[in-house]
């Protein structure tokens, strides 16, 4: 028996042949959502419980086989795709689907890692509570993936990233031990915070199998508006005005360039823009805890003030929930419209909000010098200083020629981010896509400290090699 067949037999013994996939059955798990990376694996395994995850991990550790955790495979940094060596086992958490408990007195819910985010939101709503994490991929991404990437989304402004929404974790270590850290505590200063180490670690330290999450009261009314703006400076000024006017009720403030929304209506003609085209748009959401009428009145007062101050050019306020959803749908369709149009060069950057307008102005000009005619598809969570600052090829350039300039584009964009005291990955993580970039911008000491944590928690280097840190795997599998 070869070592590969003995490993597959051992995995089959632990979780059943139906859940050890090879060949065509494994293929969908080996390419990422953007189709930028395709890897190979000895098998894709689908354990159905924490105990089965532990058994799989112990088995892989005994065989010295690397593992790649995977949730919904919607990640945008190639972090859930194995390298091309074919040595790894992909562990899909999709069968860990249970909502284990909802505690409405404590405002928490405990869910398994493979639960789809949308199902978790619905389970919270059924208990008359809000789970506020919200991403355009929420119909496919999993809570385990959200935790492993510390996902952001559209309500970070009010409720924080996934990190702020998680009180406790259950984790399987690379050797197959189970750490039960499912505490529903808002205060717990008993030593190092292991939970926060695993959150955002992109599957490089252990496998998250369950989490205890924070819940919030459901808002009584939600008001949504789309506004047209002349410039990013005006968007930043409107954000400040909205913060002052709405306080903690401001739950979303998204910015989108006119070019982004024009792309959406071009690629998806069933959608339409309710306002004439404009250089920039902002999407505002306010959640009111008193009443529909109260929420709407405050909303109209603040936006009328902004119109009178000539800060905004035009406003459409959603008259009902369906209209509000249609406005959000425009925003959420930008990534899909970009994928439909072809491959592009994506950046997920953050800079201090006070520097964001200057960042966009300076970097747009530098990119035009580099690739004249390239189109910026810029949109994102302005309330968090986070932009998806994407670049699409000029019509005169072929896709391969454009993609060959990726690292030149990175250099311009990321050097500019660095010069503006920002981050090269605000919410999507590092994965394999930005692994080498990380080295350029983090200090040697910060990299060394990260390496020491990795070595302490994963001494054999079997957890998701080649992701986040250089020198932990066989290298790029980019296609
Ligand atoms: P995967 O893609 O399967 O995995 C992502 C990483 O997490 C990998 O490193 C993987 O190894 C690790 N991982 C997965 N599950 C586990 C686990 N149980 N234990 C340990 N490690 C694990 N992201 C945002 O932050 N904000 C957005 O607004 C946003 N919008 C998006 C819109 C679209 C259309 C798409 C396609 C993606 C978007 N994303 C966004 C990116 C993506 O959806 C998130 O990163 C999401 O959190 C990934 O979850 P997943 O279950 O798909 O994880």
The ranges assigned to domains in the chain are 3-94, 99-217, 221-335, 342-439
Q: How far is the CA of 427 from the centre of ligand 1 (A)?
A: 10
In this predicted structure, what is the pLDDT of residue 298?
86
Each residue's pLDDT, cut to its tens digit, for the chain (479 residues) gives 567 889 999 999 999 999 999 999 999 999 999 898 999 999 999 999 999 999 999 999 999 999 999 999 999 999 999 999 999 999 999 999 999 999 999 999 999 999 999 999 999 999 999 999 999 899 999 999 999 999 999 999 999 999 999 999 999 999 999 999 999 999 999 999 999 999 999 999 999 999 999 999 999 989 999 999 999 999 999 999 999 999 989 999 999 999 999 999 999 999 999 999 999 999 999 998 888 888 888 889 999 999 999 999 999 999 888 999 999 999 999 999 998 999 999 999 999 999 999 999 999 999 999 999 999 999 999 999 999 999 999 999 999 999 999 999 999 999 999 999 999 999 999 999 999 999 999 999 999 999 999 999 999 999 999 999 987 554 333 32
Report H helices in 150-291: 156-159, 162-165, 194-198, 232-246, 258-267
152 CA: nearest ligand 1 atom:
25
Ligand 1 contacts CB of residue 344 (under 6 A): no
Same fold, 221-335 and 342-439: yes
The domain 221-335: what is its CATH number? 3.30.70.2190
In this predicted structure, what is the pLDDT of residue 1?
57
Contact criterion met (CB below 8 Å) for 113 and 144: yes
Ligand 1 contacts CB of residue 115 (under 6 A): no
d(CA 148, CA 113): 10
Question: Which residue from 145, 211, 384 has its CB within 8 A of the most atoms of ligand 1, so it is best to mutate?
Answer: 145
Ligand 1 contacts CB of residue 278 (under 6 A): no
Ligand 1 contacts CB of residue 386 (under 6 A): no
Ligand 1 contacts CB of residue 427 (under 6 A): yes
Question: Which residue from 39, 70, 454, 462 has its CB within 8 A of the most atoms of ligand 1, so it is best to mutate?
Answer: 70
Mode of pairing for the β-strands spanning 314-317 and 221-229: antiparallel
Contact criterion met (CB below 8 Å) for 466 and 435: yes
Q: Which CATH architecture has domain 3-94?
A: 2-Layer Sandwich (3.30)
Contacts of 180 (CB under 8 A, 6+ apart): 170
Q: How far is the CA of 295 from the centre of ligand 1 (A)?
A: 33
Ligand 1 contacts CB of residue 117 (under 6 A): no
Cα–Cα separations (whole angstroms), residue 393 to 342, 400, 425: 9, 10, 22
Nearest CA residue ID for atom 28, ligand 1? 153
What pTM does this model have?
0.93
The strand pairing partners of 101, in sequence order, are 110
68 CA: nearest ligand 1 atom:
11
d(CA 99, CA 383): 31
Ligand 1 contacts CB of residue 144 (under 6 A): yes
Question: Which residue from 112, 138, 149 has its CB within 8 A of the most atoms of ligand 1, so it is best to mutate?
Answer: 149
429 CA: nearest ligand 1 atom:
45
In this predicted structure, what is the pLDDT of residue 477?
34
The topology under which CATH files domain 342-439 is Alpha-Beta Plaits (3.30.70)
Q: Phi/psi of residue 220, each to 5°?
A: -75, -40
Up-side HSE of residue 62: CA atoms within 13 Å toward CB?
A: 14
ipTM of this complex = 0.99
Residue carrying structure tokens 């972090």: 79
d(CA 21, CA 234): 53
In this structure, whether the domain defined by 99-217 belongs to CATH 3.50.30.30 is answered with no
Q: Which two tokens stand for residue 355?
A: 């520097």
């Amino acid at each position: 028996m070869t070592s590969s067949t003995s490993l597959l037999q051992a995995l089959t013994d632990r979780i059943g042949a139906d859940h050890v996939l090879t060949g065509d059955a494994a293929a969908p798990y080996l390419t990422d959502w953007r189709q930028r990376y395709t890897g190979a694996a000895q098998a894709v395994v689908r354990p159905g419980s924490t105990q089965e995850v532990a058994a799989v991990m112990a088995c892989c550790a005994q065989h010295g086989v690397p593992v790649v955790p995977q949730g919904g495979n919607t990640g945008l940094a190639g972090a859930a795709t194995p390298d091309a060596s074919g040595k790894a086992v992909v562990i899909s958490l999709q069968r860990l689907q249970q909502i284990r408990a909802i505690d409405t007195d404590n405002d928490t819910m405990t869910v398994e890692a493979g639960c789809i985010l949308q199902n978790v939101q619905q389970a919270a709503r059924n208990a008359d509570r809000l789970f506020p994490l919200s991403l355009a991929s929420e119909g496919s991404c999993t809570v385990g993936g959200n935790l492993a990437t510390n996902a952001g989304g559209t309500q970070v402004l009010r409720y924080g990233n996934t990190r702020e929404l998680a009180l406790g974790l259950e984790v399987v270590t690379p050797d197959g031990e189970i750490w039960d850290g499912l505490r529903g505590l808002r205060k717990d200063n008993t030593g190092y915070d292991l939970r926060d180490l695993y959150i955002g670690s992109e599957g490089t330290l252990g496998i998250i199998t369950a989490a205890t999450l924070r819940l919030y009261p459901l808002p009584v009314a939600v008001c949504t508006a789309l506004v047209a703006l002349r410039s990013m400076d005006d968007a930043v000024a409107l954000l400040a005005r909205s913060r002052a006017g709405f306080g903690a009720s401001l739950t979303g403030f998204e910015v989108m360039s006119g070019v982004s929304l024009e792309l959406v209506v071009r690629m998806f003609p069933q959608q339409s823009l309710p306002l004439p085209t404009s250089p920039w748009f902002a999407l505002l959401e306010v959640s009111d805890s008193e009443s529909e009428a109260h929420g709407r009145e405050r909303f109209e007062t603040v936006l009328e003030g902004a119109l009178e101050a000539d800060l905004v050019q035009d406003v459409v306020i959603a008259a009902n929930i369906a209209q509000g959803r249609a406005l959000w749908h425009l925003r959420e369709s930008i990534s899909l419209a970009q994928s439909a149009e072809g491959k592009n060069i994506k950046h997920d950057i953050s800079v201090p909000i006070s520097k964001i307008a200057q960042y966009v102005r300076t970097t747009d000009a530098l990119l035009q010098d580099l690739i004249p005619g390239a189109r910026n598809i810029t949109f994102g969570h302005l309330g968090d200083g986070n932009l998806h600052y994407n670049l699409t090829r000029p019509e005169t350039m072929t896709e391969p020629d454009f993609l060959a300039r990726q690292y030149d584009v990175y250099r311009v964009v990321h050097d500019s981010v660095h010069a503006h005291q920002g981050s090269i990955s605000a919410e999507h993580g590092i994965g394999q896509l930005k692994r080498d970039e990380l080295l350029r911008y983090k200090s040697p000491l910060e990299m060394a400290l990260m390496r020491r944590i990795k070595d302490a928690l994963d001494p054999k280097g079997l957890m998701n090699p080649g992701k986040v840190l250089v020198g932990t795997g066989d290298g790029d599998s980019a296609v």
